[in-house]
Every structure is written in C-alpha cells, then in structure tokens.
C-alpha cells in the first residue's frame, strides 16, 4: 500500500488507546492471579532458603545488569556480609492496584548502619494530566558515624520530603539548596545503591490518583458506548520539579526488576552462582594438578 493511500485511511487513535488499556487490564488481572497462585509457593521457598547460608547474597552477586550496574563495591560488601533476607509484596492486593509493590531487605550486624530492616514501598498512582507510574517516600537509614555511603544525599531527600509534607511544597528550603549543591558535584552514575531508598517520584496524592483514574475510566467507557467525549484541554503536564531532587532517578525501574525478575527467579540466580563457583573450583584444581605434574 502506498504512503498516499495510508494517509487516506481513517485513524481512530482513541480506539487504539482504549484497546491498549483493555490489554493492560488483562495483564493486571494476570498479575493478580499470579500473585495469589504463587504466594504459598514463595512462602515455602522462604522456609527452605533460610537454611541455605548466603542464599540472597549469591542471588544478588549474579543479579541482572539492570540491578548490578547500580551496586558499587562497598554496597556489594554489605550485601555479601550482612544481607539475610529479601522479600517482596504487592501490598495493595487483593483490592488495590497490583502494580503497587514493596521490597524489604533484612540485614545482620554490619559496620555501616544500625537498621536490621529496610523496606521501600512504591505506590502506583495516576495524575490528572494522564501520567501514571510509581511514587514513593524516602526511607531513612541510621548510618553509623562516618559510614554514610550516600554522603548525606539520602538524609537531604528525606528532609525535603518532610518539609513539603509539612506545607512547604514548592518553597526553596535549605535542604533543597543543599541537595542541589551536592548533586552539582556528584555523578549519579557512581552513587551508592542505598540511594535507592531516597527515591520519591512525582508527588501525587492517593485522592488525586483516585479521581484521575475514575475520570479516565468514565471517558473510556463513554467512548466505547459511541458517545462524543471532549478531552480536557486544560489538563497540561505538570511541571513538577520533584525529579530535580532525585538521588536515584531509576529506582522505580530497579524496583520493578527486583520484583518481576530477581525475586521470582531467585532459585535460578542462586544455581547459576553455584555452578560458576563449581566451575571455578574445578579450574583451580586442574591448574594445581598441571603445576604438580610440571614439578615432577
């Protein structure tokens, strides 16, 4: 078909968008079912791996690149020596949004922080301008003196969030000035993985998300019924400056990778690590034998 004929075809973008939304709804329903069906199996796995020394550290050692690229050498040391358990949950189910997720890390004693549990929650929210995605709240870490791997970035992110929650939204606070100054001299490509706990995303309240979701669903149902729907032209993308103060901009993507890849496939990552270790031991033994034969 020529480009000229293609241009003459009627294009119904709203129908395509609605079909895409229907497909996404099927995916969400499958996520709900999968969560229900695997919950008991994952609980059984948890009991088993608790008896295996260094299970989770080995899993992280062989994590996919989407996670591994953010783990600095010192982060890896903490994970190897202190990580005891990892657990995830779609905490808003069965009645809430299946894309809302939480990730809980449990640690033993270590020289860097006092916390034994660090849990990061991500809520799936929809904005009135049509944006949808994960938002969160900064989680503080009780660093031991001189051991803050985030160099104060996490504390500042938490302070900014607390200031805005107290009514200083949009104001140029001392914490914002300090964070901007630090970020100007910091490469986020080399920051600690523990900056992950400072991610916040856009500030979208639960009520705003509920209203926006309801309004979009009503428009979608009206289009399906063949009614003329006037899109709200007053709704423009929010020029929210939340992202200016992110200390780990890709934390939402890392979180999804942990929840949908690393955690459900943890056994395979562990076995991959065991196999590589066995191969390395075998190679070492072969080298020893060759050296012994040369000496003879």
Q: Do 60 and 79 contact (CB within 8 A), yes or no?
A: yes
Task: Give Cα separations from 143 to 17, 138, 203, 228, 248 (angstroms).
Answer: 47, 15, 27, 57, 18
Confidence of residue 234 (pLDDT cuts 50, 70, 90): very low
Q: Please give the Cα distance from 229 to 210 (Å, whole number).
A: 20
3-294: CATH homologous superfamily?
Answer: Nucleosome assembly protein (3.30.1120.90)
Q: Please write the tens of the pLDDT for every residue from 3-62.
A: 555 455 555 677 787 788 889 989 999 999 999 999 999 999 999 999 998 999 999 999
Tens of pLDDT, residue by residue over 84-104, are 999 999 999 999 999 999 999
Query: What local confidence, expressed as pLDDT, does residue 251 receive?
Result: 97
Q: Give the residue extent of every domain in the chain.
A: 3-294
Q: Given the structure tokens 């140029």, which residue do they identify? A: 172
- Cis peptide bond prior to 94, omega within 30° of 0: yes
**pTM attached to this predicted model:** 0.86
């Amino acid at each position: 078909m020529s480009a000229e004929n293609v241009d003459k075809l009627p294009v119904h973008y709203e129908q395509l968008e609605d079909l895409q939304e229907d497909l996404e709804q099927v995916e969400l329903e499958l996520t709900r079912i999968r969560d229900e069906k695997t919950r008991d199996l994952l609980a059984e796995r948890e009991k088993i791996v608790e008896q295996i020394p260094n299970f989770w550290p080995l899993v992280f050692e062989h994590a996919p690149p989407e996670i591994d690229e953010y783990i600095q050498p010192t982060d890896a040391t903490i994970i190897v020596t202190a990580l005891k358990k990892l657990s995830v949950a779609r905490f808003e189910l069965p009645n809430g949004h299946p894309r809302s997720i939480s990730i809980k890390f449990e640690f033993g004693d270590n020289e860097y922080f006092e916390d034994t549990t660090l849990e990061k929650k991500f809520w799936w929210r929809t904005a009135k301008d049509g944006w949808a995605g994960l938002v969160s709240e900064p989680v503080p870490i009780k660093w031991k003196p001189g051991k803050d791997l985030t160099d104060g970035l996490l504390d500042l992110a938490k302070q900014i969030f607390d200031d805005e929650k107290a009514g200083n939204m949009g104001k140029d606070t001392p914490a914002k000035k300090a964070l901007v100054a630090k970020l100007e001299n910091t490469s986020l490509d080399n920051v600690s993985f523990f900056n992950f706990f400072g991610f916040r995303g856009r500030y979208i309240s639960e009520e705003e998300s509920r209203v926006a979701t309801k309004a979009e669903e009503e428009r979608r149902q009206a289009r399906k019924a063949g009614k003329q729907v006037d899109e709200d032209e007053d709704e423009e993308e929010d020029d929210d400056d939340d992202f200016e103060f992110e200390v780990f901009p890709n934390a939402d993507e890392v979180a999804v990778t942990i929840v949908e890849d690393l955690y459900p496939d943890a056994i395979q990552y562990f076995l991959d690590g065991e196999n590589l270790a066995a191969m390395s031991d075998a190679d070492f033994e072969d080298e020893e034998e060759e050296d012994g034969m040369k000496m003879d």
